């Protein structure tokens, strides 16, 4: 009896715990097949954990037929007024990238036309649906972080519920995460984390450009004004920064390692799995493939231009392997015997088969994770968007090779395929990555759902960084850098002033003086003075004016030399020749042979004490002799002046 009572209490306890821990989760995702597949896997795991899942879907969405069952509630909005659907948009983007790669701006123009219409349709024209969601008592919203579906963030803003973002890539400056342009390339650039100087410059400017000019146009003002009644809002990015949990479909086994915040979870490969058993006719086709194996081809659900399709068929026809290609042969192009095509190909079920030698892919994120999951080397043929970034990962990590789909020739593709097949290093590298991917305690979807459940139970404030509340200039420390730059500039200015003052003090001249424009020299350096076209290093205007009143004596000897040209040497020779104070030695000589224009310690300039110097006077000067030539000749010193010529290089 006691055992039955304990069992009953245990069942009641489990029911109570399950009821307390369960939550109502809203999924918001754009009409993109790959993204909706990820949301489907996430929804199934949430339901398995006892949560109720609501999914806002277009009434014409193909997922509306599959998303039903216990604890799964599709909520449909009417989209009849939309001028075109997502498949048309992505097909247009693909055709533009393949046929007119120089006109990629047309894709942005089409998105700018499409997004406001879609935003008004979902947010303004389906008020009954929005009220239904308000009455459903939603506890949490999971939103796709795709750049052209930012309008979806206004729904959790209206419902006032915590926000989880599931995205392939992030906008680092909007999100406020410490990804520097020095080692984290934007996901639209075919670059690695080992950036050259030119690549860092390019990456930096694109960081700035896409932060200022987002690919997605801003939401119409009428929508922002309407949804501001649920809380102040100026843009969708303002709501995105309030994300409590980021789930990124990345993984370091295939992507480049990047810094992560506590509220960021890597769950790349959400839609990857072991595959289901093949059904007919595919089981027979795969098993009966020739001894050379299978080449699996998926370039997405796109309509390839006929010239590219023809080149692909020509390349495949020359291969000994069986080629299985996800391809809608709408133009009924004749197919060689070794090529099998279908627009409904079970790729995820064929890829694990050991007969598959190479996977030719357009480098979508999901395709790459499928290849890593099963350890199959790749030949990448990117078309547009982040596929070029993904393709660069293939070549960087040696998981395969990359071929330009717009410029390739059949023999080039053939060579690339043979290189991947015959070089065992590609399979070895991706097999090692596959082992690392599988050697973890949780699968990607388990890791994501575990983080979501922790958020439901405890909230996410303890993992939220304050950076999300900072203005961009503070986050990038632009104010600190500006302050440091100002301090550095101030130090340089002070140093320049100190050097200038020291130079002026050494020369006892005015710090700077210019001559009238039009003269032979329009400027002079600190400590210099220009007079009648001649630059004087040891004289200024006052000295020049004093020279006009200075007079020579018939007994004077004037020694005129440039600096460092034997001035003292010549003065000593003349002093001894004239037996002028023969008892003087060393520095005492300067007492008796002063400079005309230069002050020395305890030896005033001769120009200031010319009358007090007894005859016969020996006077030195660094002024050019030409300056005093007329005065000397007029006053009788023509035969009593010494010029000391010297070549210029020894003076220096």
Each residue's pLDDT tens digit, 473-494: 999 999 999 999 999 999 999 9
Lowest-pLDDT choice from 300-309, 342-351, 419-428: 300-309
Number of H helices and E strands in the chain, helices first, is 25, 18
pLDDT > 60? residue 248: yes
Q: What is the average pLDDT across 389-397? A: 94
Percentage above 90 pLDDT, the chain: 40
620 burial type by CB count under 10 A (0-12 exposed, 13-18 middle, 19+ buried): buried
Start-end ranges of CATH 3.40.50.300 in the chain? Answer: 541-651
Q: What is the average pLDDT across 190-196? A: 92
Q: How far is CA 638 from CA 82, 251, 554, 632, in A?
A: 105, 94, 9, 6
Cα–Cα distance for residue pair 431/221, rounded to 1 Å: 51
Token pair belonging to 271 = 């839609």
Mapped to the 3 state alphabet, what secondary structure does 83-131 carry?
A: CCCHHHHHHHHHHHHHHCHHHCHHHHHHHHHHHHHHHHHHHCCCHHHHH
pLDDT value of position 411: 93
CATH architecture for residues 282-439: 3-Layer(aba) Sandwich (3.40)
pLDDT > 80? residue 404: yes
- Cα atoms found within 13 Å of the Cα of residue 89, Cβ hemisphere only: 19
Cα–Cα distance for residue pair 213/194, rounded to 1 Å: 26
pLDDT > 90? residue 217: no
Q: Are 346 and 278 in contact (CB under 8 A)?
A: yes
538: pLDDT confidence band, cut at 50, 70 and 90? low
- 100: Cβ–Cβ under 8 A, 6 or more apart, which residues? 106
pLDDT value of position 7: 47
Q: What is the average pLDDT across 366-375? A: 94
Start-end ranges of CATH 3.40.50.2000 in the chain? Answer: 21-272+447-475, 282-439
Q: Are 622 and 561 in contact (CB under 8 A)?
A: yes
Q: What is the average pLDDT across 237-256? A: 92
* Of 75 and 253, more confident: 253
Topology of domain 21-272+447-475 in CATH is Rossmann fold (3.40.50)
pLDDT > 60? residue 323: yes
The SS3 assignment for 511 reads: coil
CA proximity to 641, closest of 558, 525, 542: 558
Q: What is the average pLDDT across 510-525? A: 39
Runs of H (alpha helix) within 508-566: 541-547
Measured from the Cβ of residue 95, the count of other Cβ atoms closer than 10 Å reads 16
CATH architecture for residues 541-651: 3-Layer(aba) Sandwich (3.40)
Cα–Cα distance for residue pair 215/188, rounded to 1 Å: 11
Cα–Cα distance for residue pair 304/326, rounded to 1 Å: 12
pLDDT > 60? residue 584: no
* Of 445 and 591, more confident: 445
pTM (predicted TM-score) = 0.73
Q: What is the average pLDDT across 179-198? A: 91
pLDDT > 60? residue 575: yes
pLDDT > 50? residue 520: no
pLDDT value of position 645: 60
Cα–Cα distance for residue pair 498/491, rounded to 1 Å: 10
Q: Are 509 and 539 in contact (CB under 8 A)?
A: yes
């Amino acid at each position: 009896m006691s055992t039955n009572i304990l069992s009953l209490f245990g069942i009641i306890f489990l029911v109570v715990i399950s009821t307390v821990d369960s939550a109502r989760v809203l999924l918001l995702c754009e009409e993109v097949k790959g993204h909706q597949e990820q949301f489907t896997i996430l929804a199934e795991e949430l339901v398995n954990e006892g949560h109720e899942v609501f999914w806002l879907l277009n009434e014409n969405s193909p997922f509306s037929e599959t998303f039903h069952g216990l604890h799964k509630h599709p909520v449909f909005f009417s989209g009849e007024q939309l001028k075109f659907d997502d498949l048309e948009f992505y097909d247009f983007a693909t055709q533009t990238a393949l046929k007119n790669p120089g006109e990629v701006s047309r894709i942005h123009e089409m998105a700018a036309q499409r997004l406001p219409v879609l935003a008004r349709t979902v947010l303004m024209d389906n008020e009954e649906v929005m009220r239904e969601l308000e009455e459903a008592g939603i506890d949490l919203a999971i939103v796709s972080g795709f750049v052209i579906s930012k309008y979806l963030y206004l729904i959790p803003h209206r419902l006032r519920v915590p926000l989880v973002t599931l995205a392939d890539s992030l906008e680092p400056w909007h999100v406020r995460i410490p990804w520097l342009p020095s080692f984290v390339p934007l996901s639209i650039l075919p670059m690695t984390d080992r950036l050259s100087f030119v690549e860092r410059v390019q990456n930096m400017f694109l960081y700035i450009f896409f932060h200022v000019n987002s690919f997605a146009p801003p939401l119409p003002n009428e929508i922002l004004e309407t949804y501001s009644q649920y809380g102040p809002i100026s843009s969708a990015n303002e709501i995105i920064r309030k994300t409590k949990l980021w789930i990124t479909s990345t993984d370091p086994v295939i992507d480049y390692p990047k810094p992560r915040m506590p509220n960021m979870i890597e769950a790349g490969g959400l839609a990857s799995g072991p595959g289901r058993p093949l059904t007919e006719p595919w089981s027979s086709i795969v098993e009966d493939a020739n001894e050379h194996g299978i080449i699996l081809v998926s370039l997405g659900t796109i309509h390839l231009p006929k010239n590219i399709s023809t080149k692909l068929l020509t390349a495949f026809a020359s291969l000994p392997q069986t080629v299985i290609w996800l391809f809608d042969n709408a133009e009924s192009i004749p197919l060689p015997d070794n090529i099998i095509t279908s627009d409904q190909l079970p790729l995820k079920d064929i890829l694990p088969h050991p007969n598959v030698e190479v996977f030719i892919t357009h480098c979508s994120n999901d395709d790459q994770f499928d290849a890593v999951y099963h350890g199959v080397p790749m030949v990448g043929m990117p078309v547009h968007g982040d596929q070029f970034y993904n393709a660069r990962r293939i070549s960087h990590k040696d998981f395969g090779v990359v071929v330009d789909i717009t410029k390739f020739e059949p023999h080039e593709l053939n060579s690339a395929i043979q290189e991947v097949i015959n070089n065992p290093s590609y399979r070895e590298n991706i097999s090692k990555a596959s082992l690392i991917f599988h050697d973890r305690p949780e699968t990607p979807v388990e890791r994501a759902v575990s983080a979501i459940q922790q958020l439901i139970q405890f909230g996410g404030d303890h993992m939220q960084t304050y950076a999300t509340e900072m203005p961009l200039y503070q986050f990038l420390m632009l104010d600190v850098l500006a302050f440091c730059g100002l301090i550095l500039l101030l130090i340089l200015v002070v140093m320049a002033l100190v050097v200038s003052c020291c130079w002026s003090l050494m020369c006892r001249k005015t710090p700077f003086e210019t001559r009238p424009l039009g003269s032979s020299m329009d400027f002079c350096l600190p400590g210099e003075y220009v007079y009648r076209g001649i630059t004087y290093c040891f004289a200024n205007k006052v000295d020049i004016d004093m020279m006009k009143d200075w007079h020579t004596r018939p007994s004077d000897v004037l020694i005129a030399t440039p600096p460092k040209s034997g001035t003292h040497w010549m003065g000593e020779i003349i002093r001894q020749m004239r037996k002028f104070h023969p008892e003087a030695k060393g520095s005492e000589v300067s007492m008796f042979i002063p400079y005309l224009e230069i002050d020395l310690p305890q030896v005033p300039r001769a120009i200031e004490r010319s009358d007090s110097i007894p005859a016969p006077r020996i006077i030195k000067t660094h002024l050019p002799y030409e300056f005093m030539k007329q005065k000397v000749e007029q006053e009788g010193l023509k035969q009593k002046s010494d010029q000391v010529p010297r070549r210029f290089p020894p003076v220096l």
